[in-house]
Amino acid sequence: MADVLLFHHALGLTSGIASFAETLLRNGHTVTTPDLFEGRTFATVEEGVAHAQSIGIGELIARGERAASSMPENLVYAGFSLGVLPAQKLAQTRPGAAGALFFYSCLPLTEFGSAWPKGVPVQVHAMDHDPVFMEEGDLEAARDLVSQADSGELFLYPGDEHYFAEPMLPSFRPEQAALLAERVLAFLDSVGLPTHS
């Protein structure tokens, strides 16, 4: 079983994120969900992004790093959209990562000044007509990342939604979300780490 550090998206630590974490917990994994927004959630992505910008992207990443600092090294780092920022930095730069899961976003490897670490498996999940993922550089970054990883997978789902796996949102697509969850659980099972008591 795996230990997962899961970072939320620009809407904050929503019930949808909690629901996803609960799915992982029910399947025997441990999940920690830091609240980068310190209790605030937002109804629209625009409001959430504005809040994130008011905090500062550097500070949000630093909050993610502080959340990881008291945890073991052999974590799976996971992030939804904005949450990919701290997840990818930690997976790339903190020694001992067990794996990485990036949902809806991916950054160029050069963003954090290093290549993808050897032996760290990764999955990237997005919709094949999501304008954010397809037109803002994420697709190219994801293809480069998975080509460099010893074990890398890029999954593109039919559709144009960004937050397609969150059940509480109008953009939710249940069939694609179920397939995403199935692939994520198989990935976590393959990591094969003992669960901490």
For the chain, the average pLDDT equals 95
Q: How far apart are CA 147 and CA 153, in angstroms?
A: 9
Closest Cα partner for 36 from 72, 4, 61?
Answer: 61
Helix axes 57-69, 45-55, angle to 10 degrees: 80
Q: Which tokens sit at 36?
A: 């980068």
Q: Which tokens sit at 167?
A: 């059940």
What local confidence, expressed as pLDDT, does residue 195 receive?
41
Task: Tell me the per-residue pLDDT of 25-78, one tens digit each, with 9 for 90 and over.
Answer: 999 999 999 999 999 999 999 999 999 999 999 999 999 999 999 999 999 999
What local confidence, expressed as pLDDT, does residue 197 receive?
38
What CATH number is given for 3-167 in this structure? 3.40.50.1820
Q: How far apart are CA 82 and CA 8, in angstroms?
A: 7
Amino acid at 61: I
Q: Which tokens sit at 52?
A: 């994130």
Q: How far apart are CA 19 and CA 6, in angstroms?
A: 12
What local confidence, expressed as pLDDT, does residue 194 receive?
46
The CA distances from residue 91 to 42, 117, 119, 158, 163, in Å, are: 27, 8, 11, 27, 22
* Sequence spans of domains, the chain: 3-167
| Terminal Cα distance for the chain, rounded | 12
Residue 146 has pLDDT above 90, yes or no: yes
